[in-house]
A = this chain, B = another copy of it.
């Protein structure tokens, strides 16, 4: 278990700088546009149609400025000061499609890019950049009915505070006063928090679009902070999942069932998580088989038939990862589970690693499989 966590962290750390290695320099197309995750009105960082990223940082008296994105293992992208005193540079190769965390190193200190929005990852608010994906339509903001994302503060006696969660309610929620909805509890990864699935994950837009297309029956999604025992920085060896299990099962779920129009039973309750959140999903679903009926591990390990041998009434096991992770792992695990009689599905996100496009696509694949009659 310890090793599992630590390797997840390492993969997460590296993935931001992964890209397609190029042995011969390709011609860089000069069709750069501002990243969609830039701060309002900011031109840089920019991205071109090939996936190259270009940065521009004002710090006229700095000695050295670099960006943590770039070719894997080669220290990111060093910027060069121009005659105008502005530091600029382009990644040596294209980046993977989708979302990447990054930061600047300026004279030995770590700072965010003033041009980019910030996203909580690596236990801090980091700069983010989006390389447009060829399939980005499924999480685009469209002119369809939109659900709400609600910030709730729920009482948590076990941690002596009010804790925050976000609750996605579908567009028709509340319209029919007698309608009740299934619920997916959806967790972030190590170093992220309860904002991740809405901000960088676009979970609400993925749901809005699936519902508008009639591809799923609407359900609620609940997202809360999973690193309950506050081991945020380097303390993963001591990470203990039981405080989070208490918050989730004994505090959050009863609060959601009391305050939202839920179908408050096991059949209508799913849980999934990415990376460390997948590990939590596995542990908690096995500890508490009476709570959830649909399980999802997104770049977060696998279940074996042995894990589930006393849990024959599991409705769905979904396991996914990026093609640059360990696709054989999730495919073989699903095969073994199917052979043992479970409804198991694996999904591999083509061309992505341990990063959010993998997880956006995973949610898009998982949602239509949930809560089937």
Contact = CB atoms under 8 A, between A and B. Distances in A.
A109 B111 CA distance: 11
A73 interface: no
A112 interface: yes
B177 A109 contact: no
A25 interface: no
Contacts of A85: 108
B108 A111 contact: no
Contact of A162 (B109, B125, B146, B230): B146
A148 B114 CA distance: 31
Nearest to A157: B143
Interface stretch (A2-10, A56-64, A276-284, A321-329): A56-64
Contacts of A143: 155, 162
Contacts of A154: 146
Contact of A114 (B40, B108, B111, B150): B111
A117 to B, nearest CB: 7
A365 interface: no
A141 interface: yes
B146 A148 contact: no
Contacts of A155: 143
Most buried by B among A146, A155, A230: A146
Contacts of A57: 109
Task: Give this chain's copy count.
Answer: 2
A313 interface: no
Contact of A111 (B39, B106, B177): B106
Contacts of A125: 39, 117-118
B146 A149 contact: no
Interface size band for A? 35 or more
Interface in A55-95: 57-64, 85
Given A58-B109, A177-B177, A150 B150 contact: yes
A60 B124 contact: no
Interface string A221-252: 00000000010110000000000000000000
Contacts of A177: 177
Given A125-B39, A141-B162, A146-B153, A114 B107 contact: no
A150 B259 CA distance: 14
Contact of A106 (B62, B150, B230): B62
Nearest to A258: B175
A107 B64 contact: no
A150 B148 contact: yes
Nearest to A59: B109
A148 B229 CA distance: 25
Contacts of A123: 40-41
A151 B153 contact: no
A28 interface: no
Q: Which 8 A-B pairs have the closest CB atoms?
A: A59-B109, A61-B107, A146-B153, A62-B107, A60-B108, A150-B150, A149-B151, A111-B111
Given A40-B123, A61-B107, A150-B150, 12 more contacts: A40-B230, A60-B108, A60-B109, A61-B64, A63-B63, A106-B107, A110-B114, A111-B114, A143-B162, A146-B153, A150-B151, A151-B198
23 contacts: A40-B232, A41-B233, A57-B109, A59-B106, A59-B108, A60-B109, A62-B62, A62-B63, A62-B106, A62-B109, A63-B107, A106-B106, A106-B109, A117-B125, A118-B118, A141-B161, A141-B162, A146-B153, A146-B162, A148-B150, A150-B150, A150-B151, A177-B177
